[in-house]
Amino acid sequence: MIRFQAFVRASIIAILLASSPVFASNAPTVAEPAPVFDPLEGVNRIFFGLNEVVDILIVTPTVTVWNTIIPSPVRDGVSNVFNNLDDVYAGLNHALQGNGTQAAVDFQRVAVNTTIGLGGIFDVGTKMGLQKVYGDFGQTLGVWGASPGPYLVVPLLGPSNLRETVGRGIRIVSDPRTYADPGLSNGLMALELVDNRASTAANEQLISSSSFDKYAFTRSIYMQRRAALVEAGGSRH
Amino acid sequence: MKRFLSSLILAFFILGHGTLQGHALAPEELVTKLAADMTSVIRNDPALQTGNVPKLSAVAEQTLGMRFDFERITRSAAGRNWNKASAEEKAEMIKQFGKLLIRTYAGAISNLKDLDVRVKGSRVNAPDKDVTVRTEMVGRPQPVAIDYSLGKVGSDWKFYDVTVEGVSLISAYRDEFTAIIGASGVSGLIEQLKAKNAK
């Protein structure tokens, strides 16, 4: 019930934002050469640098330990449990984007994975041909017409933009874990972060080995990826 | 053996009958053939699977060097700054950026030891001139969508961009190059490219 109220509240905020003149825009969503809107570049670069330090000192060693001591089937299980919760949000967002067909697939995945997949530990849905499709609140705001706004680097969390930050806020207030005991809630978030990072470590490596200005490279990749997700969400009708 | 035979047949098919199927199909077959070739090279050589960079670079250079339209790639990565460069600077940029791309690719292809490329189809952007081949990397829990853009140079099809899950590699480099050229000019970019390649 709390979650539903939180969601309604969040939806209202989202609608207000989407319809306010600052956000409403007819800008094309395709990632074409237009330079990235980054008015806060100075501050962003500072946070980017800090995040890199945190990454080297804390996150990477933790991920390495995680990958070393936890056997791969257990790691897959953890990923799957988080993905299963994520599918609930993907379904919700696909519904909000007007894509009922995909939402139905997402919820079928949740149903199958939660039951036959033992609480989401096994991704039975994919094996049954129900493919996971990404969906989140930031994407929904984009499909509704909100432009990305300025690029932002969020301390600890990394690349974002105004639209995605609002989306992330909606996700946090609507996530049951937010209202769990703080110890549990923080523990789960840390675990999710480690799980996420463990699966993207290889890409990170590729980025740092092939780029000079990692900040600009990461920014471009992030903004293009988000634009592509919004475009995919908008075209799946 | 089966893979070798099929790529041999494909290679023969492309060499002998490139025009038979119409030009629009050629890029798709080219991508299929290159993927099959590289996969078999990687899987048959344990040294490559461990990520031996010099050796991987040599393989990438051999298989892909001729297939990239380095001039077009560099021009489009430099964006509006391209015209600020002298003829010598342009040539140097093409050479150094080409080297860097080959190295980047070399790092990525070692993944082929346990991944497969599945060609899904292609989109003709301009008949006989510009085609995007859509593929999927499979073998991990989530397939990765990779699109290859090819343009016709003379009678050959050459790659001019790669788009991974909606992210264009050339656009990413363009944003980066713009930042570097803005801060330290075309010569600064060339210096940085050289330094990166020397590592």
Stretch 70-109 of chain B: residues touching chain A, C-beta under 8 Å? 79, 100, 103-104, 107-108
Query: Does B79 sit within 8 Å of A221, measured CB to CB?
Result: no
Counted domains in chain A: 1
**Facing residue for B176 by CB, picked from A205, A211, A224:** A211
Contact, B100 vs B53, CB < 8 A?
no
pLDDT grade for A18, boundaries at 50, 70 and 90: very low
For chain B, strand residue ranges (E) read 116-126, 130-138, 144-153, 156-164, 167-168
A192 near B CB under 8 A: no
Question: What's the pLDDT at A24?
Answer: 37
Q: Which of A30, A210, A219 to mutate to test the interface with B (most CBs of B within 10 A)?
A: A210
**R_g over Cα of chain A:** 18
Going from the C-alpha of B113 to that of each of B41, B44, B108, the distances in angstroms are 9, 9, 11
Residue of B nearest to A36 (CA): B175
Q: What is the DSSP string of B52-89?
A: -HHHHHHHHHHHHGGGB-HHHHHHHHHGGGGGGS-HHH
| Distance (Å) from the alpha carbon of B19 to chain A's nearest alpha carbon | 33
pTM score, two decimals? 0.77
Tell me the per-residue pLDDT of A71-114, one tens digit each, with 9 for 90 and over: 989 999 999 999 999 999 999 999 999 999 999 999 999 999 99
Contact, A147 vs A23, CB < 8 A?
yes
**Facing residue for B176 by CB, picked from A79, A213, A225:** A213
Q: What is the fold, at CATH topology level, of the domain defined by B2-198?
A: Nuclear Transport Factor 2; Chain: A, (3.10.450)
The ranges assigned to domains in chain B are 2-198
Question: What's the pLDDT at A181?
Answer: 86
Residues of A in contact with B166 (CB under 8 A): 31, 224-225, 227-229, 231-232
pLDDT in 10s for each residue of chain B, 199 residues: 445 555 545 454 444 444 444 444 489 999 998 888 888 888 888 888 887 778 888 888 888 888 999 999 999 999 989 999 999 999 999 999 999 988 888 877 777 888 889 999 999 999 989 999 999 988 877 788 999 999 999 889 999 999 988 899 899 999 899 989 999 999 999 999 999 888 7
Question: What's the pLDDT at B106?
Answer: 82
Q: At what angle do helices B26-43 and B53-64 cross, to 10 degrees?
A: 150
Structural domain boundaries enclosing A169: 2-235
Question: What's the pLDDT at B142?
Answer: 76
Question: CA neighbours within 13 Å on the CB side: how many for B111?
Answer: 19
In whole angstroms, what is the distance from residue A17 CA to residue A165 CA? Answer: 12
Q: Which of B76, B163, B167, B189 to mutate to test the interface with A (most CBs of A within 10 A)?
A: B167
Residues of B in contact with A32 (CB under 8 A): 171
In whole angstroms, what is the distance from residue A92 CA to residue A81 CA? Answer: 18
**Facing residue for A206 by CB, picked from B108, B142, B166:** B108
As a whole-number percent, the residues of chain A with pLDDT over 70 amount to 82
